Amino acid sequence: MLRSATVFDVFDLSRVLVRSITELCTADHQDDPKVIAQWTANKDPATIRGWIRNGIQIWLAENNGQTAAVGGVTEAGEITLLYIDPDHIGWGIGGALLKALEQELIDFGCAEGQLEATQTAQGFYVRDGWEATGGCSQRNDVSCLSMRKSLHLQD
């Protein structure tokens, strides 16, 4: 089940974000405790509560009553988050959540989506039609590749 997150979900959201980064993104952080700590520093329940209260659209996917994935979008057309709980990899949950986030961008009236993908996530996005724009950024000692996708607005 996919749904908008509420402030009551922040502890589960934090758990998924931290586990996903720590356990699945080793190609990006190389198991460096400093990099992991910097990357996960703003993934705590209080910060996530602030995101939700400030209008950032946070979505979650549930599987068997557990929070399995977390995603976020802005009305400006950016996917800000997409992390999967390690126990739920390979079930199509990430792809379903990505489709929901893309639909949210379409509902906002965005003709194009943007995101910054880690090395771990690049193949996932490419398989779904996202393209590298040539831009690259560095966040918390982790390189990110700027990507875009043309979205099909419904009339």
- Residue range 2-110, CATH number: 3.40.630.30
Nearest alpha-carbon partner for 81 in 108, 61, 109, 53: 61
Residue predicted with more confidence, 87 or 55: 87
- The CA-to-CA distance between both ends of the chain, in Å, stands at 27
- Percent of the chain having pLDDT more than 90? 86
At 58, give phi and psi (nearest 5°).
Answer: -110, 130
* pLDDT tens per residue across span 27-59: 989 999 999 999 999 999 999 999 999 888 999
> What confidence score (pLDDT) does residue 153 get?
61
Domain boundaries in the chain?
2-110
pTM over 0.85: yes
